[in-house]
């Protein structure tokens, strides 16, 4: 990960927090106009000092709002995710007929990255194949059956263990694709700006319940649009996170662009 990009995202998200802070101050001014009039009329403060104070207050309020919205959305997302997991039947991944981490193209690219540490490229032994081989062993002489059964069990356990290791690597790249940490500068700036506008929209809709001046279409329509986008993005991210097949092609694209270790 490029640390300079991460720092840029943090700095921009922090600075962009002024946006919801300004929105909060404007709405506060609608209900407490006399307070702002007294502040503007203070003669011992110059206009530069007043601007600096307004920026500082907007900065503190805005970043507090985005932190609150982020915490609430994270808690809601965690609760929804836990409910989805609770509703899904528990299944042994090895028992799946097909799984994305068994894709030959994906495994080839991961082996190129892991080198000697990659799991063996084995395939799980299906129950029908296992039973068929068991019946074949029953046809062997009695003195050969114990060794053949042991060999069959070891082979199956080895394949199951390899499959579980491949699944762990798939889960790691799956999370990296769904929640990327290395993006372009444009993506960092866009994400920071979008989230701050969404936090401001949540504040506007809540304020409309108490401040009559906010109950106009030019306030409510953009706020509803940003909130719908926020909900849609959160839903899409959750849905994609729990659908492991959804990132197979993206993982292949991501892995194919990585430089091969020497």
213-223 burial, b at 16+ Cβ within 10 Å, e below that, comes to: ebeeeebeeeb
249 pLDDT above the threshold of 60: yes
pLDDT the model gives residue 84 = 67
pLDDT the model gives residue 142 = 87
What span, in angstroms and rounded, lies between the C-alpha atoms of 29 and 247? Answer: 47
What span, in angstroms and rounded, lies between the C-alpha atoms of 170 and 107? Answer: 9
**pLDDT-derived band of residue 74, with 50, 70 and 90 as boundaries?**
confident
pLDDT the model gives residue 75 = 83
**pLDDT-derived band of residue 2, with 50, 70 and 90 as boundaries?**
very low
Any idea which residue has 């965690």 for tokens?
Answer: 78
Average pLDDT over residues 75-93: 70
Residue ranges of domains in the chain:
1-90+182-262, 108-178
- Render pLDDT for 7-62 as a digit per residue (tens, 0 to 9): 555 666 666 778 888 888 888 888 777 777 787 777 777 778 888 888 888 888 88
- Render pLDDT for 168-225 as a digit per residue (tens, 0 to 9): 999 999 988 887 766 666 666 777 788 888 888 998 999 888 888 888 888 999 999 9
Sign of CA dihedral 195, 201, 206, 210: positive
pLDDT the model gives residue 93 = 73
Query: Residue 96 — left, alpha, or beta (φ > 0 → left; ψ -120 to 50 → alpha)?
Result: beta
175-202 burial, b at 16+ Cβ within 10 Å, e below that, comes to: eebbeeeebeeeebbebbeebbbbbbbb
């Amino acid at each position: 990960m490029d640390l300079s990009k991460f720092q840029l995202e943090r700095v921009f998200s922090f600075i962009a927090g002024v946006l919801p802070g300004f929105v909060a101050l404007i709405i506060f001014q609608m209900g407490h106009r006399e307070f702002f009039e007294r502040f503007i009329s203070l003669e011992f403060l110059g206009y530069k000092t007043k601007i600096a104070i307004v920026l500082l207050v907007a900065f503190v309020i805005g970043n507090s709002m985005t932190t609150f919205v982020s915490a609430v959305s994270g808690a809601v997302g965690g609760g929804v995710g836990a409910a989805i997991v609770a509703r899904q039947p528990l299944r042994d991944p090895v028992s799946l007929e097909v799984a994305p981490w068994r894709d030959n193209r994906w495994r080839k690219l991961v082996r190129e990255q892991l080198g000697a540490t990659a799991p063996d490229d084995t395939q799980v032994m299906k129950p029908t194949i296992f039973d068929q081989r068991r019946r074949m062993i029953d046809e062997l002489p009695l003195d050969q059956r114990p060794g053949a059964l042991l060999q069959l069990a070891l082979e199956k356990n080895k394949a199951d263990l390899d499959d579980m290791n491949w699944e762990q690597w798939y889960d790691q790249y799956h999370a990296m694709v769904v929640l990327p940490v290395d993006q372009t500068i444009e993506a960092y700036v866009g994400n920071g700006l979008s989230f701050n506008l969404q936090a401001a929209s949540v504040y506007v809709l809540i304020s409309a319940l108490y401040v009559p001046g906010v109950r106009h279409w030019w306030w409510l329509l953009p706020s509803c649009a940003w909130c719908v986008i926020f909900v849609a993005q959160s839903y899409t991210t959750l849905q994609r996170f729990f659908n492991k097949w959804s990132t197979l092609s993206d993982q292949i694209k991501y892995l194919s662009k990585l430089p091969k270790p020497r």
